[in-house]
Structure 1
Amino acid sequence: MRGSSPIAPRATDRNPLSGAQFTRLTNFEGAKSNPAISPDGKFAAFLSDRSGAFDIWLIQANGNSLANLTQGRIGDARAPLRAVGFSGDGSEVWSAGIEGRRLKLWPLMGGAPRNFLDESAAEVAWSPDGTRLVYHTWQAGDPTFVADHNGANQRLILQNEPGLHNHYQVWSKDGGSIYFVRGRPATREMDLWRITPDGGEPEQLTHLNADIAYATPINERTILFVAHDKDGAGPWLWAFDRETQTSGRVSSGLEQYTALAATADGRRLAASVVNPRINLWSVPITSHVVEEQDVEAFQLPTARSQAPRFGGGSLFYLSSRDGADGLWSYRDGKALEVWKGSDGALESPAAVSADGRDVAFPLRRNGKQQMHVMTADGTGLRPLPSDVDLRGTASWSPDGKWIVVAGSDRSGLGLFKLPVDGGSPVRIATGPFLDPVWSPRGDLIVYCGPQVFTLTPLLAVRPDGTPATLPDIKVQRQGERARFLPDGTGLVYMVGNTMAEQDFWLLDLSTMRSRRLTRLSSSAVMRTFDVTRDGGRIVFDRLIENSDILLIDLATSQAPP
């Protein structure tokens, strides 16, 4: 994890998982994720595609009485944050709200669901005594409210500036605080905070600057969460100790934890454990809409591959030997590791020059992300001197003289052109922007604008900083969602309601009209893609989470009396 706070494996006598009993709750094929557990620990709910679409499933803690609660009535039940949870008294299960779909309450014993809270409510959590609840909406700044247990008498207690987010709200065990995760999730810059139910000034608890999620208090001293480590490996289970103000990894081994929830007394946890598989696939660009059967595996000699980028006659992609992603190149049937993840993990695709001779990527040095350039064979690594702290991906100018990046300097967030041969950065736009892509024609830079909930608009600027106009196109925040055709005549972009409902579209830059390229049906998560040099195919990554739901019963000595 990035940041200044201490973070290291916890000593065994302070590890809340010491002596815990782990029980695999699910024993069937398919994806299982986003578990929740009832306040009394007798039921668990989770998402699964066991019946085809992703529904919310309910199961007793002893493994009996598996039932499909939603039965396709809300379509794909997945959501970008907590997708499911229990009401304060455990009699109902809630399904998350997203744009175009209301947050709903579902009776535990079956029956018709009902809409709950306002139309933009995203996720909700009840206080330990069941008398109050906290929720936030998916509107800009994630407005956060406290209300009575039935949703009445809402009171706004927190709202951020657009682009800054409040997620995973949960009450402390005494009901005196609300913990939440705050920051910029698209760039994995999140930390644990707390605020009183009456509002006021929030208090930052960690300074890790990592992709913290699923904050889960188990007692007044310990808050568990999931996150990747500083090298990009994981995600693992971690704990924040309020007495020592330190965080450390508490899970062991190679199992990856993606979500977590706890009972009212904190003695029992429900967690999703995954063994993910991510590889590259391709689909043709044609005059008609292509379907799932047209998708082909893109064969590579490495077991894991993601974040493709073409340059010259080579494909560059991310892969790992030890959990931290490094950079590989592939040409003429041979793969070469050109940057080892153990020397500095890469969290986003490398930028590749048009001729394929040079690559650029950010590495964390002296507390900030600094751009580095090296030749495509892995030699000649050098930093580009700059006071810009980078965010997201970068892109070369067609002539190889500049690299456009998103980041911040002393004047704040924006887009910058970094001169490859040295010199001062040139600011071309100001705002919380990400992932600029430079047109092969050199006349246009497309980037992601301010994020609202999980969506961000595609915006454009000329290389001299003059704003340019694009149609209204919104893409998912995580991943790199836009690439130009090699001749610069069109922009391919990826859109969908969730990370796993993505399809490709093509914007004709002369007419500013879009047409659909694909109608895909896989449930795999898609994040990043590129277009082959001949413009004939899209190569993209797909993540399949081979997952299970675990129950973790904490030892009596680790749980509160």
Structure 2
Amino acid sequence: MGRLPLGRAGHRRRLGQVRRGGRARQPDGVGAARDPGSLGHRRPGHLARRQQHRRSGEGERRYQADLRHLAHPGSLYVRPGESRGDAIVVADASGENPRELVSARGGWHTHWPAWSADGRFVYFSETTATWNGEPSEIFRVPAGGGEPQAVVRTTRRALFPLPSADGGLFYAANPAGVDLDLWWRASSEDEPQRLTTGVGEYAEPRVSADGRTLVATLIEYRQALVSVPVVFGGAVVLRRLTDEFGGDLEPSLSPRGGRMALSSSRSGRRNLWTAEPDGSNLRPLTSDAALEERPSLSPDAGQVAFVSDRGGQRGIWIVNSDGVASRRLVAAPVLDTLTWSPDGRQIAHAVPGGSVPQLSIVSVNDGAVRPLPTPAGGHSPAWSPRGDVVAYLEPRGPGRAYLKFVSSRGQPLYQGLPDGPPLTNGFVAWAPDGKRLVAVGVPGSSKATFWIVSPESSPPFRKLIELPEEVRPRGITWTSDGSALIFGRQETLSDLVLFERSTVN
């Protein structure tokens, strides 16, 4: 086995503040590349103060650390397409003569490209989630072009590849847990070694030119369920329903009321839980070692559909609301929301497509799947509880996703409705009366916004609230009386940490 460049026993200390934006400069100071949407230039300094910030994997233009050792130190960047998929572009060191190295695919996102030390390969992570969620895997592609090759396969997350000068690979992964740790693999034949443990999530590693120090981001997520009243004309006051240290996200309520389903990591794994609509009386619904997320209560509140990687394969599962009789409906790379038909017999969802994501419908009875045709692809479906109307987001390129409607057979509805605001990285949910929706836009470079949409009223779109810039919503549902929304609130705090090698293997 190859020598580990950064020993587990190395000392750790904190560095200076993280700043957004700025320019990422080569270690030798020769050149720099614009990084418009991520953490920007990192400058060591005094012991860090914890600082809130927003993270984005799109629009990156980065130089791999220690470019002086590269045979072909070109510029790498991601050409973002959001739900239409991202492409990786390589250009000269000056940024000229760009060419597409990895093509965009509908519903797939490519993040964090990095050169190998010999310049022969470009490593990157690929995911169906815009926020580097599960599943995320690491691939590499020959610098001259060709088919991507799998490097780290997982149903969880493997992200932020950092090839080392001696052919090894640093990366962040959570093969069996919730939070990312840093890992090291000397070669493709060697077993990976875990470098970090403890509370928090490690990401974005960078190694010094002499290989003796490593800098990474240590992230703390604060996740809680929050309610917001649907009122206009005055101040909108948010009310926290659960504490921010339980990892509570993705709430779901039935139009008939009853207990709320949610995903939570308060047990140390992300499983399904239930609670009263006010967030009290939390109880586990599932306790499997697998990842379980995106719960959706059936119209009669008797079952919960969810996405899980049980058995090592992602798919749609169903469990009774008392936690018994779970079963897999279908294996599928689900992109985002699950939504039930009003009669509880079908579930709509989105999956990757050729050039755009596509909607599908699965039968609850036998798991049979059929496509749900839309004029130009779609994702984030929401089935009306009162009729055969499926709302969804139509992708039209970076920063442009718009609310559209079809029947369950693909007939376009509300065709006279204007596009309304762009709902980048967004999702939607119907009110129990089937007359209103909440449509959420989560752009990577500005504030998340909630819109209340009444397709048959004028004006059809009304802004409810803008969230603070450091807050990202993760899932949303209406209360059974339609007076308020409940959403998963995620806030990110981060430090820069430095590891110094204290032993030589």
Q: TM-score, normalised by structure 1?
A: 0.73
The amino acid across from 2:124 in the alignment is F
Q: Is the deviation greater in 129-138 or in 438-447?
A: 129-138
1:399 corresponding residue in structure 2: 343
Q: How does 1:501-520 map to 2 (within 5 A)?
A: 501-511=447-457, 513-520=460-467
CA contact (8 A) 1:449 1:458 kept: yes
* CA 460–542 in structure 1, closer or farther in 2 if over 3 Å, else same: same
Change (3 A) 1:265 1:453: farther
Contact 2:162–2:206 (Cα < 8 Å) also in 1: yes
Distance 1:487 1:540 in 2: 19
After TM superposition, list the pairs within 5 Å mapping 1:106-185 onto structure 2: 122-125=60-63, 128-129=67-68, 132-139=74-81, 141-185=85-129
Give, in whole Å, the separation in 2 of the partners of 1:376 and 1:358.
Answer: 5
- 1:435 partnered with 2:380: yes
Give the distance between the partners of 2:105 and 2:264, measured in 1 at CA.
Answer: 36
Counterpart-to-counterpart distance in 2, 1:183 and 1:302: 26
From the superposition, tell whether residues 165 and 542 of structure 1 become closer, same or farther in structure 2 (CA, over 3 Å).
closer
| Conserved? CA contact 1:290–1:518, under 8 Å | no
Question: Structure 1 residues 403, 496: closer, same or farther in 2, change over 3 A?
Answer: closer
**Equivalent of 2:412, from 467, 480, 501?**
467
Please give the alpha-carbon distance, in whole angstroms, between the structure 2 residues aligned to 1:329 and 1:166: 34
Q: Could you tell me which residue of structure 2 aligns to residue 18 of structure 1? A: 8
Of 294-303 and 437-446, deviating more is: 294-303
Pair 179,299 (structure 1): closer, same or farther in 2 beyond 3 Å: closer
Counting aligned pairs with the same residue, the percent is: 24
In the TM superposition, residue 281 of structure 1 has moved relative to its aligned partner by: 1.5
Structure 2 residue 46 is the aligned partner of structure 1 residue 63? yes
Task: Assess, with a 3 A threshold, how the Cα gap between structure 1 residues 446 and 257 changes in structure 2: closer, same or farther.
Answer: same
- Displacement of 1:490: 1.7
Between the aligned partners of 1:382 and 1:81, the Cα distance in structure 2 is: 34
2:249 matched residue in structure 1: 306
| 1:365-393 CA distance string (max 9 Å, x none) | 44433333232222333343x46554433
> What does residue range 95-494 of structure 1 map to in structure 2 within 5 Å?
97=59, 122-125=60-63, 128-129=67-68, 132-139=74-81, 141-186=85-130, 188-231=134-177, 233-244=178-189, 246-247=191-192, 249-288=194-233, 290-291=235-236, 294-299=237-242, 303-311=246-254, 312-331=257-276, 334-348=280-294, 350-384=295-329, 386=330, 388=332, 390-407=334-351, 414-422=358-366, 424-429=368-373, 433-450=378-395, 452=397, 456-468=401-413, 469=415, 471-472=418-419, 473-477=421-425, 481-494=427-440
Larger strand percent: 1
Partner of 2:35: none
CA contact (8 A) 1:408 1:414 kept: yes
Change (3 A) 1:451 1:163: farther
Answer with 297-306 or 502-511: which moved more.
297-306
Distance 2:277 2:153 in 1: 45
Say what the alpha-carbon RMSD is for the aligned residues: 3.9
> How far off is 1:534 after superposition?
1.3
Question: How far apart, in 2, do the equivalents of 1:432 and 1:246 lie?
Answer: 41
Q: Distance in 1 between matches of 2:103 and 2:211?
A: 29
- Matches for 1:508-547 after TM superposition, within 5 Å: 508-511=454-457, 513-521=460-468, 523-547=470-494
Query: Offset at 1:423?
Result: 5.9
Q: Please, which moves more after superposition, 502-511 or 295-304?
A: 295-304
Q: CA offset at residue 443 of structure 1? A: 1.8
Deviates more, 1:11-20 or 1:337-346: 11-20
8 Å Cα contact 1:34/1:272 also seen in 2: no
1:380 aligned counterpart, secondary structure: coil
- Measured in 1, the distance between the counterparts of 2:113 and 2:367 equals 44
Gaps (5+ residues) in structure 1? Answer: 1-10, 46-53, 69-75, 83-96, 98-121
Q: Is the 8 A contact 1:301 1:335 kept in 2?
A: no
For 1:197 and 1:426, the matched residues in 2 are separated by 39
